[in-house]
Structure 1
Amino acid sequence: MSSKDQGLQQGLQQRHIVLMSLGCAIGVGLFLGSSSAIKIAGPGVILAYAIGGFFMYFIMRALGEMAVQDPTAGSFSQYARNYLGPAAGFTVGWNYTFSTIVFCMSEITAVAIYMKFWFPDVPQWIWALATFVIMIAINLLNVKFFGEFEYWFSMIKVAAIGFMIISGLGLIIFGIGNGGIAIGFDNLWNNGGFLPNGLSGVFLSLFLVMWSYGGMEMIAMTAAEVKNPEKTLKTAINNVFWRILIFYVGAMIVLLSVYPWTEIGSTGSPFVNMFTKLGIPAAAGIINFVVITAALSSFNSNTYGAVRILFNLANRGEAPSALARATKNGVPRNAVFFFAAILFLSVIGNYIVPEQIFMYFASIGTLSTFFTWTMILLSQIKFRKSLTADEVNRLAYKMPFASFMPYITLAVLAFIIVMLAYTSDTRIGVMVGVIWYALLVIIYYSKTKKKMQAEM
């Protein structure tokens, strides 16, 4: 454990990390965000998930190469500092905190929306507040308890998605649950074809698709609190490709085969709608419970990641020193409270603009996430250049096609950001992002200037 991670405990086991890595791959972006992506691309969203997943795999391999070599709670914030400079480390750390706050806000909103399935007359902000209180309380517990909660949260949603895919295939191929009448795959090309809005629909949906992959990078931040980080991180990251293929691409194929894409609305989860359409209300209720669990799981893991970044920033003197304190049980409690104070704004947002709040969070969170991924790739490029040929050969975990894939992936991220700015509904995310990054740069250099003047 790094000296900068002192106070944390290695309370996470391999089974925690394996399920957490699965859990990070299944969140609110799949269950709720997929509805908006489907409306933009139609069945072509399957292609968008495959393209996005392909490049997400290389982002994770780039991060894994550095994380296995240097496991630290600061993760990509620390790597940016090491290879791109202190200004980059500061910016990445605070940006990731900002992006996880936005992610958690969207997850709180998602839970509130899902609860309307059972309690349509209860105000949305009530459920947002209840979710906020419960999940912050969990993050104040010992990291081992956090791992157990996340383990079971992830177990539920992984099992449910697996069940949905298997039962969906039974409906599609054998007509099980539909009177023996096979549904088939016709819905994938009926209603305007596989690409009803052309390739432009696929490209425009990529921002929501990539946003749904956000949070996977959190796995690298468990390195300081997991036993045998080299073996555990390798296993978790190596499985990213198969998780994406099964849980995203597979789920979309089944969903869009069973349920015509033109009938998927903008409210509620399309997974719940699918079972309701088939006349299985009990299953719809179960799936609604699962998607709530998925949002809680994603909230839980994102809070964990943001708090560890804050803890690392405080240890570096780039956040209030009080945030560097950990309890005797290894919990950075002050960092949790600081995170919670900002996160409470989501409850207010659900009270003021409940209808628009989810898309606002998605667009703002996407740009912040892309910035984190961009800095991961740039850090990995510099990391490789700092090594001799012999040192590269001795790396315990190597990124495949490292000579060109980081550059191609960076170009793809840049293209999606252009699409984000091009679309009127998501342009707010780019505007907020530009202001936020300018503010971070101003704060960093103002802080540096004051420090230099004090030392003179």
Structure 2
Amino acid sequence: MELKRELKNRHVQLIAIGGTIGTGLFLGSGKAIALAGPSIILAYLIVGGALFFVMRALGELLLSNTSYTSFTDFAAEYIGPWAGYVTGWTYWFCWIMTAMADIIAVGIYAQYWFDVPQWVPALVCLLILLALNLLTVKLFGELEFWFSLIKIVTIIALIAVGAFMIVMGVQTDAGQVSVSNLWTHGGLFPNGVGGFLLAFQMVVFAFVGVELVGVTAAETADPKNNIPSAINKIPVRILLFYVGALLVILSINPWNTMDATSSPFVQVFTMAGISIAAGIINFVVMTSAASSGNSGMFSTSRMLYNLGSNEQASAKFAKVNKQGVPQNGLIVSTIVVSVGALLSKLMPENAFSLVTTISAICFIWVWSIILISHIIYKRKNRALHEASTFKAPFTPFINYVVLAFFVLLLGIMLFAEATRTALLLTPVWFILLFLLYRVRAKTNA
């Protein structure tokens, strides 16, 4: 049995939105705001713009060959088998880290109502997601459709309520609601350029999952129409869901009144004195974390399926159950993600920051591989590129610009104390993968 093409256009569109709205925005933006102040909006625009070009490159590559099931296939073809192997396992690891962050976030949100240790609701959430993902890919699509719809309605409602408060000049405990709050509390860069740059790690994490559309390619009913449609709408989503929401939040509550350890989306209603709304928003951001965790379960199991199919992992991972779900990969991924619940028990204060940094670093690798593959693809297959109906713009120049930007991001993480440890630990993963690849290559020679 093989994977089934059961994801419809509405599923792909909402999965794409769900991939760009998650824990990084709802929870991580609090930390980013504390570092950068109002300039955080510019950081989201810069990272979002860079990733749009990554996605256009990904879209062209996937549509150039309909037999591609994910980006590991074209990485192996254009860069080499080692690139497919390392990128496939790294993407699996990326989403393992992201799913850990998501279940940790669920534990944090649950403490808004319940006086329980973080790891308890985190583990419960993980087991529920496992049970749901074992059913059908169509159910995954439906779950993400409704999860994402909740996020969209919430953010639009937040923007609408915030715009009304701005126009009416409402007074809150934090002061008067006004767009002037963006620059009257130390300016747009209250912590200088240094604070602005240090916020990029969490901003990058907010965008992890934007490439999830590429992983759904093998299970999308009409990839040639659905994938371009989903990718081309990314800029609008960035402007609405990131820039629009943060503009409203920072106009209602000055950046220096926000608590870096909790969700600014919840804080904005709490400080405005709307406690019922704050509880509702907390529920929404908790479902958002569960949604992102759900995406993590989906992508890790599909990546193991892909690795198993390409003989880069055990052939057992290439098997699917009667519902067309790669059950073995799903169960193994769940067991590994459960370490996140353990981390939230052992280091509740630092677990989220550690796993988000590792996740961001590994995603930068994956995004870079997509750009490099596209550069080689365009050079080797000029005619195929010219015939493409979904050409990536400004290539290869923009590919090099974005790659240079990624190198800058890694440099920032090296100099930031909060991210340095994770950055220095992450190469161990890549060294291990290269060694395993060499051993595997010799064994199969």
Distance 1:268 1:387 in 2: 49
Deviation at 1:129, TM superposition (A): 0.8
Find 2:59's aligned residue among 61, 64, 67.
64
1:97 aligns with 2:97: no
Residue type of the alignment partner of 1:397 = F
Residue type of the alignment partner of 2:416 = T
Q: Give the direction of change, closer, same or farther, for the CA distance of 1:72–1:245 in structure 2 (3 Å limit).
A: farther
Distance 1:90 1:348 in 2: 29
1:148 aligns with 2:122: no
Find 1:337's aligned residue among 328, 331, 343.
331
How much identity, in percent, do the aligned residues show?
Answer: 39
User: Structure 2 length normalisation: TM-score?
Assistant: 0.97
Q: 1:445 maps to which residue?
A: 438
Find 1:236's aligned residue among 206, 214, 230.
230
Distance 1:201 1:47 in 2: 13
Aligned positions, number: 444
Paired residues of 1:69 and 1:396 also in contact (CA < 8 A):
no
Distance 1:443 1:363 in 2: 24
Q: 1:183 maps to which residue?
A: 177
Deviation at 1:73, TM superposition (A): 6.4
Distance 2:133 2:219 in 1: 14
Deviations, residues 75-116 of structure 1 (Å, cap 9, x unaligned):
111111010000000000000000100000000001100111
Q: Secondary structure at the match of 1:319?
A: coil
1:412 aligns with 2:408: no
Distance 2:67 2:280 in 1: 38
1:249 aligns with 2:239: no
Deviation at 1:24, TM superposition (A): 0.9
Residue type of the alignment partner of 1:369 = F
Distance 1:175 1:142 in 2: 49
Q: Secondary structure at the match of 2:417?
A: coil
User: Structure 1 length normalisation: TM-score?
Assistant: 0.95
Distance 2:150 2:18 in 1: 9
Report 1:374-413 matches (<5 A): 374-388=368-382, 390-413=383-406
Deviation at 1:182, TM superposition (A): 6.7
Deviation at 1:178, TM superposition (A): 6.7
Paired residues of 1:73 and 1:308 also in contact (CA < 8 A):
no
Residue type of the alignment partner of 1:437 = F
Paired residues of 2:31 and 2:261 also in contact (CA < 8 A):
no
Q: 2:424 maps to which residue?
A: 431
Stretches (4+) displaced over 6 A: 176-179
Deviations, residues 30-52 of structure 1 (Å, cap 9, x unaligned):
01110111111111111111111
RMSD: 1.5
Deviations, residues 261-317 of structure 1 (Å, cap 9, x unaligned):
111113221110110000000100110011011111111112211211110100111
Deviation at 1:224, TM superposition (A): 1.1
Report 1:284-363 matches (<5 A): 284-363=278-357
1:36 aligns with 2:28: no
Deviation at 1:70, TM superposition (A): 2.4
Q: Give the direction of change, closer, same or farther, for the CA distance of 1:279–1:342 in structure 2 (3 Å limit).
A: same
Report 1:241-280 matches (<5 A): 241-280=235-274
Deviations, residues 134-169 of structure 1 (Å, cap 9, x unaligned):
111111111111111111011101110111011111
Report 1:81-96 matches (<5 A): 81-96=76-91
Residue type of the alignment partner of 2:386 = N
Q: Secondary structure at the match of 1:425?
A: helix
Find 2:103's aligned residue among 105, 108, 112.
108
* Structure 2 segments unaligned to the other structure (5+ residues): none
Distance 1:73 1:264 in 2: 45
Q: Give the direction of change, closer, same or farther, for the CA distance of 1:117–1:130 in structure 2 (3 Å limit).
A: same
Q: Give the direction of change, closer, same or farther, for the CA distance of 1:226–1:287 in structure 2 (3 Å limit).
A: same
Distance 1:308 1:197 in 2: 42
* Structure 1 segments unaligned to the other structure (5+ residues): 1-5
Deviations, residues 224-271 of structure 1 (Å, cap 9, x unaligned):
111111100010000011111111111111111111111111322111
Paired residues of 2:69 and 2:217 also in contact (CA < 8 A):
no
Deviation at 1:133, TM superposition (A): 0.5
